Chains A and B, each alone.
Chain A
Amino acid sequence: MGRYILRRVVQAVGTLFLVMLVLHLLTTLAIQLNGNPALAFFGDRIPSASQLAAVEARYGLDDPCYDQVGNPCLGPFVERLGAYAQGDFGTNLRGREITDIVATAAPNTLRLFVVVTVTWLLLGMVLGSVAAKWRGTASDHGIRLTSVLIDAFPVFVLLLVYRYVFAVPLSDWAEETFGASSLPAFWFRPSFDDERPWATIVVPGILLGLAGSAAFIRLVRASQLESYGGEHVRTARSKGLSERHVVLHHVVRNSSVPVVTAIGLTFAEALAGAVITEGMMNIYGMGGVLWEAVRNSDVALVLGIVSILAAVTVFVMIVVDIAYAALDPRIRYE
């Protein structure tokens, strides 16, 4: 097992490096195709001369490699990696250190993810188990249909509708009924308040969790069905074991494997969803920062955040791989 972990970590480092390289190559190509390297960093804004100079210096944009389309520009890449290794991720348009921004924003994203994961697990386990237990009945079909519809609803649309159509009336109502500083008022406030981070994150988190829960419900249902009907469950029953023992040690234990894998697989999507959610609800998390950065064409910030998020994804994938191996011994010995 230890060897497996080591191997995975080494692989992950390799993958991370490749990811950075790919991002770099694509960004470089984009810059080169753009024509004017430094201006590309400002989107459709007009930068001041000092801003332009700062960006050029920071990203080594005065390097001639940026004038030739197709040149991989490895020099600047290595320099930038070096800077990253030292914790220097650059600054945003207004000169604030990106690492600083991340330090403030990350906790909010983590809070969001906690709410989202709890929603997934709750909805998934409850509805999925019910659907599995009452397989073939109206409840099963009803749950599956609902989960299809929830799945279909793009997060973006869900949040848009909530934000622009429901949030204001709801928060007004909450303020009137419970008072302006009560919890419900904060729940429905369409924007983030960093003095009450949890309260203002709860509703967006639930909405995001809703939007992604269909996969979980389906997964829990399918894996429980497989487990209940599985031959090893029949063997366990043939030994006269209590149903509780069978369910715990043979059904739930076996279904936990695909659930964990699913968390890993959906993480990337969840991240995208988080960006949209934070952006639409003005939450000051990593996603929200990214969202505003794109709106403001602050490309340096976009690049920094995307790099960091990519690293986070790699990290999450290792953790999931390890959990998967811990749960399913067949994986450890490959």
Chain B
Amino acid sequence: MKVAMNPQRDGEIRVGFYICHCGHNIAAMVDCPAVARYAEKLPGVVLSRDYKYMCSDPGQELIQRDIREFGLNRVVVASCSPLLHEHTFRAATEAAGLNPFFFHMVNVREHNSWVHTDRHEATEKAKALARAAIARVAHHRALEVKKVPIHPDVLVVGGGIAGIHAALTLAKAGKKVYLVEREPSIGGHMAKFDKTFPTLDCAACILTPKMSEVGTHENITLWSYSEVTKVEGYVGNYTVTVRRKARYVNEDLCTGCQECISNCVYKEPKFPDRFNEGLGKRKPIFIPFPQATPQVVLIDPEVCLNFKRGQLTDKCKKTCVEACGDKKAIDFTQKEETREIRVGTIIVATGFKTFDASRIPQYGYGVFPNVYTALEVERLVNASGPTGGEVVLRDGSHPQAIGVIHCVGSRDNKTNRWCSRVCCMYSLKLAHLLKEHSHAEVYNFYIDMRTPGKSYEEFYDKLLTEGVHFIRGRVGEVTDWAMTPEEEGKLVIRVEDTLAGFVRRIPVDMVVLSTGLEPQADAQAVRRMFNMSCGSEGFFLERHPKLAPVNTFTDGVFLAGACQGPRDIPDTVAQAGAAAAEALVLIDKGFVEQEPNTAFVLEQECSGCKSCVPLCPYTAITFDEAKGKATINEALCKGCGTCVASCPSGSIVQHLFEDDEVFSEIAGILAPT
């Protein structure tokens, strides 16, 4: 992979220079023929051309013909960003029999014509950039692309609808999938929803078939109540450590008959039920919800009488064990386990959390019992929810008037600035369901009604005809100070009605806060574990917002669902399918090609100071204790150059960024015209 040709040693350098007009994109601001004429006179340049579209087939053929006819051994193209067409021109160079790394690209579009307004200055800048590239390319060496095989198994992290869909897609393609879910059951947020907008089909009815398919699919290993704790390796070869928490019930032996729950010494459910957002109660031994997958109960050692502060005491009568009988599924001595698996690709589908409504104290969540979050209301209107679908408030009353407040923790400089995308639609859905279940007057308080999606605007239209009231304005406060006798004992919503142009006070019995979507609380830890990036708001960052929306900056790690940003179910499913397809691309190809811009250590010069080891953001550097030298794993190195810059003895070198290449480029850009 090392020096094959040195300009000083291997004779004449013959550079071909090409500048692309990119239609008007470059030519409008840069005098391309002038740049071509200028480059022609530079040392080593054999020919110089300007052409309308270098990336077109004729443009590529031009390069190939010139290489053959004029004996070019270096090629420089000044056009757009290397992110777009570097591979195109490298391929063209290679097709003409030249090593692709004798090609170098100059960006005169994003870095020049698109951002400048003075044609003369922009042209001079293009000349300087061309000069630098021509000076640099003379020092290029032939490099080869390495191929690394891909392990065919896939890890999917998160068992919400995104993880479920991605896992099923891969499993159906014959790939082995590990699906790791933190909660005792898969299903995620979608399992808690009552209906889905805009079709109003029951969320459970469309989700649970997919859940049970996951549970029974031969290609899927489902590890619920488990968390990924460590990820090592690189694309194609990841080693992942998974912690399987103790549920005190043997998953293989439990049949989900739930006799243990009926026979628990607690006759009545007593503890807040997380699945029902704390609105319902459960026993110490429980199953999260009726359609839970896997259909396996678990024990909460914090409240089970057989434990004290999580420690086994064996002081309970253990009526559950009796009820379980010969199945012997209950195992109080179960310990958490650690498993290690090997996979080639990873799909991160860790989802979102909803905004904590108590962060906006003026809306009274946690102060007034009849102020609810939207997710609580999903459970309240659900037939299998804590009230069987009847809208009964925390104080036992039935509401006559309900206010739904949009954008709670969204589009707000004080909390989260982004639009959470789903709240307008789910607020409309809840307004419809609440009206249907309670016959109350329902008011929606919105800033802007955002309903972009198939049949979404039509759903909004339908709500308008159903008699739901819409008041445009961000709610100032939810309060209990009454101005009139009608307001006594009510929750008063104070809002500036920006259509009517005055401040209104709407007395209601129930308030629903349409909380926005946020990154998971541990998103930063997950980001570090999978070596991903986060945007400023904390959601995982895609490689490109438009053209690589499911890729991350780490090869082989893909994103699906709301961990990347707020989105609704259809978009989540589409993205999960896309992530699965991207993983399949790698798996079916069988290997990955690695850009050879990696760093390497000149062993004889390394002093063994280890300063580079902790600096590497990709953990590619290890220290060879035997030799007392640092070594770089080429498969892990991303070519960021951090170690090269930091090495005190200058003993780390990076391909394509060797000293003579970089310095000649600098000399070229600074040289007088």
State whether these chains interact: no
Seen from chain A, the residues whose Cβ lies within 8 Å of a Cβ on chain B are: none
